[in-house]
A = this chain, B = another copy of it.
Amino acid sequence: MPSPRFAMITEADARTLPIGCTIELEKGGHVTPLARDTLRERRITVVPAGSVDPALPADLAPVSPIRRLAIGSDHTGLAHKAAIVAHLRQGGVSVDDLGTDSTDAVDYPDIAARVGRAVVRGEADAGIVIDGAGLGSAIAANKLRGIRAAMCATVTLARYAREHNGANVLTLGSTLMDPAAAIEIVDAWRSASTTEARYLRRLVKVRRLEDAF
């Protein structure tokens, strides 16, 4: 189904569009300030006219903005997890903390699978997994159908992972950064979205690899 296309988006439009949908705004088009707030609240994505390919599945792009998030860490990431949970909840995100809660050693594949499954089941819009370097958790989470997990050690990579690669799981290395730096990476990742048709077309190809698994 082609996306609705607008030259002007008013508060009334924003109220009546389906929650979570994507709409196109014509070049030089206008969104009223009140409509902008409502669009945000109702999770409606506005993209430039012509950038939506109606042939692409509607559920390819990760849910944006992230309202409900699942988080998990191994025993090395407790401080990072606590800081990120507090930050996100303060920002109005509903966070499901899936452990671990103690310094006893746990295995990254268990934590990554727990977070990934919450996203796959739709219990969370996206997930964060922390282990020593974040690499193992990314490998493990990607072994779940529907998960696109990226280990990001910088703000730039985090934004890129979501804009280009539709990353619905972010993995972090507790040994690579302090909690404050981790929070900056989380914010860069969650404030980006996947809207460009050329990037979405590549996500179709990733899905085909899953179908052939």
Give residues in A with beta carbon < 8 Å to B: 107-110, 113, 132-133, 135-136, 138-140, 142-145, 148-153, 157, 160-161, 164-165, 167, 173, 201-202, 205-206, 208-210, 213
Task: Judge whether B167 and A150 touch: CB under 8 Å.
Answer: no
A208 to B153, CA, bound (A): 27
Query: With a CB–CB cut-off of 8 A, which chain B residues contact A160?
Result: 132-133, 135
Complex Cα gap A208–B211 (Å): 18
Q: Are B139 and A167 in contact (CB under 8 A)?
A: yes
| Docked-complex contact A213 and B143, CB < 8 angstroms | yes
> Majority SS of interface residues in chain A?
helix
Q: A142-B142, A143-B213, A144-B209 are in contact. Are A135 and B107 (CB under 8 A)?
A: no
Which of B133, B143, B210 meets A206, CB within 8 Å? B143
Assess whether B164 is in contact with A213, with CB atoms less than 8 Å apart: no
Measured between alpha carbons, how far is A157 from B109 in the docked complex, in Å?
Answer: 18
User: 23 A-B pairs, CB-CB below 8 angstroms?
Assistant: A107-B202, A108-B202, A109-B209, A113-B209, A132-B160, A133-B161, A135-B161, A135-B164, A135-B165, A135-B167, A136-B164, A138-B150, A139-B149, A139-B150, A139-B165, A139-B206, A140-B209, A142-B142, A142-B149, A144-B209, A144-B213, A151-B151, A153-B153
